[in-house]
Amino acid sequence: MTSDDLRPTGRGHGPTGWWPPGLAARGATPPTRAHARPGVPGPGHAPGGLGAPGHGPKPGHGPGHGPGHGHGHGHGHGPGPGAGPTGEILYFAWTIDGTEPTSQEDIFGVDAATGAVRRLTDQSSGVPFISDRDASWSPDHSRIVFMSSDAIAPTHLPVLSAAGALVADLPVEGTTPIWLDAATVICAVGRAEPDGSGRRQDLVAVDVPGGMVRPLTAVAPGELLGEPTWHATGGLAATLSREDPATGEWVSTQLVVAPAAAVSATLAGGAPLTPASFADVAPGCTWPAGPDWSPDGTRIAFSASRPCATTQSDGTPVLQMDVAIVTPPVPAGGAPGPVEWVTDDTAGSYDDGLNDGSPAFSPDGVWLAWARGHEDDWTKIVVKQLGTTGTPTVLLGEEHWFRWGLDW
């Protein structure tokens, strides 16, 4: 594979790279569709990778993000010592109100027990514009891999120690990296025809620290695999989106799983997986995104879009994101279990409703964290003990940061 084969194809959720189609911009008339973050190029321009709810590098500062004062990323409102959840939740964030000199995306960690925040990357100087996002813990929580992109250098995948020291830098233009094992990272890479048509996005395996790339999937033009999440027994889950190869018009997105044995066979020298190798495990869900395996490999948390009480001018409901959990079939090929909705914003109007997404299981599988907030605006990080009816605990609640890409 050459570097030209490993180029992200841009976009997060939806046709403009931010949220799924049908979500109105906060403060806008509900009939508007999802829109890009200010200053971010439109479809087909900025690297970012399918399924990443943010964006890739952008050539300059977006409007309304002028110089500010200090970092402004204080501690949150954690459950307190001994209250239940432990460990550190990784996420990326950018400030929405100028509390930092620039509105760049950086990697942070928050202590699930106390709400204490530490910053792992700092691109706030703004020269060049750099986006660090989608951090992932290694299986033993000793290392962190994430995507870094800017307006000058190619996208790459830095690897940090748990303390934040750089230990490797993988020269792969990939997105949404996750760990397969202690020596392998899986990420999404994309390519397109010179005129921008015929986009496709595959998953590849990258050796750590050497950076050697091995193809894992082989999709056709208009097929895009992204947002991988791996479990040694559960298999490889991802989002599979399809678009018209000629026009780029979005057609569908599914939450799919390939058996672990099939992935192992490919990595051992077998043929790459195709979309036929994956099974849809959340049929009927609209724009599933952000999957995360439970530690025991029996459940997948994800987000999906559902109609709320607000409608567009033509009567079509505006969609809002909710968090759900599904149990894939074992063995593969059977019917998946019913979808369990962790959040429910269907009764609210768009103006007072919040989007929920980017879920992450705790290491013991007892708790679930996710981001809750407004489109192109602030999000909080909340945690909830699964199987309970209580209100989620707000771990980080300041409303001047957008937070996403959780990994626990």
* Residue 175 parent element (H or E): strand 175-181
For the cut 70, the answer to whether the pLDDT of residue 87 exceeds it is yes
> What pLDDT was estimated at residue 169?
97
Q: Are the beta carbons of 320 and 23 closer than 8 angstroms?
A: yes
Q: Are the beta carbons of 176 and 193 closer than 8 angstroms?
A: no
Q: Quote the CA–CA distance of 116 and 379 in Å, as a whole number.
A: 17
Q: Quote the CA–CA distance of 212 and 21 in Å, as a whole number.
A: 36
Q: Quote the CA–CA distance of 317 and 315 in Å, as a whole number.
A: 6
Q: Are the beta carbons of 257 and 266 closer than 8 angstroms?
A: no
> Is the dihedral angle over the CA atoms 398, 401, 405, 408 positive or is it negative?
negative
Residues above pLDDT 90, as percent of the chain = 61
User: Could you say which architecture CATH assigns to the domain 3-407?
Assistant: 6 Propeller (2.120)
Q: Quote the CA–CA distance of 352 and 245 in Å, as a whole number.
A: 37
SS3 state of residue 166 = strand
For the cut 60, the answer to whether the pLDDT of residue 36 exceeds it is no
Average pLDDT, the chain: 81
Q: Give Cα 182 distance to the centre of its chain.
A: 21
Q: Quote the CA–CA distance of 298 and 326 in Å, as a whole number.
A: 9
In SS3 terms, 52-94 reads as CCCCCCCCCCCCCCCCCCCCCCCCCCCCCCCCCCCCEEEEEEE
> What pLDDT was estimated at residue 150?
86
Domain-by-domain residue ranges, the chain? Answer: 3-407
pLDDT (tens digit per residue) in 301-346 = 999 999 988 888 888 888 999 999 999 987 666 788 889 999 998 8
> What pLDDT was estimated at residue 83?
62
Q: Quote the CA–CA distance of 230 and 175 in Å, as a whole number.
A: 15
SS3 state of residue 378 = coil
Q: Quote the CA–CA distance of 277 and 68 in Å, as a whole number.
A: 49
Q: Quote the CA–CA distance of 135 and 176 in Å, as a whole number.
A: 8
Q: Quote the CA–CA distance of 251 and 244 in Å, as a whole number.
A: 7
Looking only at the bridges linking them, the beta strands covering 235-243 and 355-361 are unpaired
What is the number of residues in the chain?
Answer: 408
> What pLDDT was estimated at residue 98?
74
pTM (predicted TM-score)? 0.82
pLDDT (tens digit per residue) in 133-171 = 999 999 999 999 999 998 888 899 999 999 999 999 999
> What pLDDT was estimated at residue 115?
96
> Is the dihedral angle over the CA atoms 328, 295, 322, 345 positive or is it negative?
positive
Question: Between these two residues, 389 and 166, which has the higher pLDDT value?
Answer: 166
Amino acid at 99: T
> What pLDDT was estimated at residue 332?
66
> What pLDDT was estimated at residue 5?
41
Amino acid at 114: T
> What pLDDT was estimated at residue 331?
67
Question: Between these two residues, 272 and 348, which has the higher pLDDT value?
Answer: 272
